[in-house]
Amino acid sequence: MSELHVGIDLGTTYSLVSVVEDGEPRVIKNGLGELLTPSAVHVSEDGVVLVGSAARAKAVTAPHRTVLSFKRDMGTARRFELGGKSFTPEELSALVLQGLKQDVEAEFGRPISEAVVTVPAYFGELQRRATRTACELAGIPVERIINEPTAAALAYGLHENQRELCAAVLDLGGGTFDVTILEIMEGVVEIQASAGDLRLGGDDFASSLVERCQLLLDRNHGIGDLTDIGRARLGEACELAKRRLSFEEQTRIALPALATVAGPRDVELALSRADFEEACLPLLSRMTRVVERALRDAGREPRQIDEVLLVGGATRTPCVVRLASQLFSRLPLRVLPPDEAVAMGAAIQVALKKGDSAVGDFVVTDIAPFTLGVASGNRRGAALVHGLFSPIIERGTVLPASRVEQFATIADDQTRLLLEVYQGEHSLCAQNQKLGQYELDGIPPGPAGTQVIDVRFTYDMNGVLDVDTTIRSTGETAEFTIESVPGRLSKKEIDEARARLKRLKFHPREALPNVTALARADALYVELTGENRVVLGAHINQMRLALEQQGTSDISAARERLLRLLSELAPRG
């Protein structure tokens, strides 16, 4: 049995898997026949877990039992309460990954041997380790972590271009925005700079529209606070409106019986693309700053960029395309579906790693997205300043990298040293992100400044940091072990989390098409009124009766009729 190597795009909004067949990447459809699997988790009242499209549909009718966009909290201590159970972002990501794993293994009839998984270029060390933990919990062996823009560049096939080429990859996903400047030269893809914003994505564009609609509701309809379900319905309606405004100048949002704190209200709002783009101006300004920082770090002017690549579903938004065109004075290149390019590139990367001659022979380099260093102090006479940031590996350093810096004791007879590791760009540690700490013992006593300690940082291609120290006078070395970092799981905690996930109840895979169809129908039923609602209600009842009678052919026929009706009645976008 041949090995199965896959590329996985674990996204904020959608996730997908790709493989390379005969030198070409192919995105694998999930159990519902869809290329994109929503990164969503729902826990029903009876404790059953839903993942993907069914869970995404439940976000409208049961928002308190559904969670989305948890990728933004990877590597943090945040926990999500669902159905009386508590989940970390890593555990929720693992549930999505398990669904992807199940689908791809059902497609090929064998287990995944190795995977390349993508992360935003601006993900730091904690988020990258958290991503690897999520894969471990899902039982997916990770060959390598690769940056999303780098993967996208591979998918676009720029390495095949015979001319030297400098490109800017703008990756706007559901939750993050990355800009990577790279150069293609004689079979080498060299990353020159990366910059990003981990709290800027398509979700924020939809949220801007939600805020605009809430102002209109208050001003034009006298509607104040909404209930949880009301907010969820408004959010879903704004997401659909955002998509429609990508190809229409005007649209309307109709929300019959919208759940407000004061009671249900029928609401209809008119929106224009100009309204939406005005609401998004602060987000476009933030995008501009990220682009400018990436160009500055790469030492490039916009006119020196030969191609601009747009990646991520949110780059379909016209004002985003226009911004890219204005910043670089050229039309962006979009020859692949922006949702799929990253996963396809990840599959190419794993094929390259395995020496697949069908995908060619070229080299990809990457860089450190953040500066990494330690806390230090300075003494002058009786004055002592603590908490200064001393860089060891600067952002933009080509990976893998190993750097060593020397530090000396600052007190007489100092025998211990607290080594604190930080990530960031500020001169004060308090303004950067702490990655961990290690207490070094056994320093021989002596006058201040006489004992020298070498601190070595080793940063690999996966963005994983190892630290070791050497006391010069004794030659004693110690490997850095991270202690009590929020959001990081120990081996024991990983084992416990894996056992806990195994105890969860899941809908059988073969039942998911039925569950998903009903979840989508229930979500649409909330939005409709009049004859359409009556017709949809009848189809939902027929589907539930078929499930109750458990006749396989009757269930399939009822589901197909329901799906056709949903396609006819659902808002476009």
Q: For the chain, list the domains and their CATH numbers.
A: 161-335 (3.30.420.40), 372-487 (2.60.34.10), 509-569 (1.20.1270)
Whether 485 shows a pLDDT value over 90: the answer reads: no
Q: Please state the φ and ψ torsions of residue 379, each to the nearest 5 degrees.
A: -120, 135
Q: Confidence band (pLDDT; 50, 70, 90) for 378?
A: confident
Residue keyed to tokens 């669904």: 99
What's the CA gap between 479 and 440, in Å, rounded? 10
What's the CA gap between 451 and 407, in Å, rounded? 8
Q: Which residues are catalytic?
A: 9, 71, 148, 171
User: Among 36-45, 71-80, 155-164, 340-349, which is the least confidently predicted range?
Assistant: 155-164
CB-based contact 61:101 (threshold 8 Å): no
List the beta bridge partners of residue 367: 398
Question: For residues 36 and 462, which has the higher predicted lDDT (pLDDT)?
Answer: 36
**Interval 301-312: pLDDT, tens:** 999 999 999 999
Torsion of CA 535, 536, 541, 543, to 10 degrees: 120
Whether 461 shows a pLDDT value over 90: the answer reads: no
pLDDT, position 274: 93
Mean pLDDT of 308-320: 93
Mean pLDDT of 495-520: 84
List the beta bridge partners of residue 265: 258
CB-based contact 165:188 (threshold 8 Å): no
CB-based contact 277:137 (threshold 8 Å): no
CB atoms within 10 A of CB 96: 26
User: Among 381-385, 444-448, 463-467, 471-475, which is the least confidently predicted range?
Assistant: 381-385
Q: How far apart are the first and last CA of the chain?
A: 42
Q: Confidence band (pLDDT; 50, 70, 90) for 484?
A: very low
Label the pairing between strands 363-367 and 188-197: parallel
E strands, 441-572, are 452-459, 465-471, 477-479, 505-506
What's the CA gap between 105 and 28, in Å, rounded? 10
E strands, 472-564, are 477-479, 505-506
Which bin fits 130, alpha (ψ -120 to 50), beta or left (φ > 0)?
Answer: alpha
Average pLDDT for the chain: 89
- DSSP letters, 315-329, are GGSHHHHHHHHHHHT
**For 252-290, what is the HEC assignment?**
EEEEEEEEECCEEEEEEEEEEHHHHHHHCHHHHHHHHHH
Say whether 243 sits in a helix, a strand or coil. Answer: helix
Mean pLDDT of 8-27: 93
pLDDT, position 154: 85
CA 173-178-181 angle, 5° bins? 135
What's the CA gap between 511 and 346, in Å, rounded? 30
Mean pLDDT of 447-472: 89
pLDDT, position 1: 58
Cβ burial of 265 (10 Å; 0-12, 13-18, 19+) is: middle
Q: Confidence band (pLDDT; 50, 70, 90) for 81?
A: very high
pLDDT, position 139: 94
Q: Confidence band (pLDDT; 50, 70, 90) for 474?
A: very high
Whether 481 shows a pLDDT value over 60: the answer reads: no
pLDDT, position 483: 47
**Interval 407-427: pLDDT, tens:** 999 888 999 988 999 999 999
Tokens matching residue 112: 């995944």
Alpha helices in 171-280 (DSSP H): 202-221, 228-244, 273-279
CB atoms within 10 A of CB 81: 12
Q: Confidence band (pLDDT; 50, 70, 90) for 38?
A: very high
Q: Confidence band (pLDDT; 50, 70, 90) for 185?
A: confident
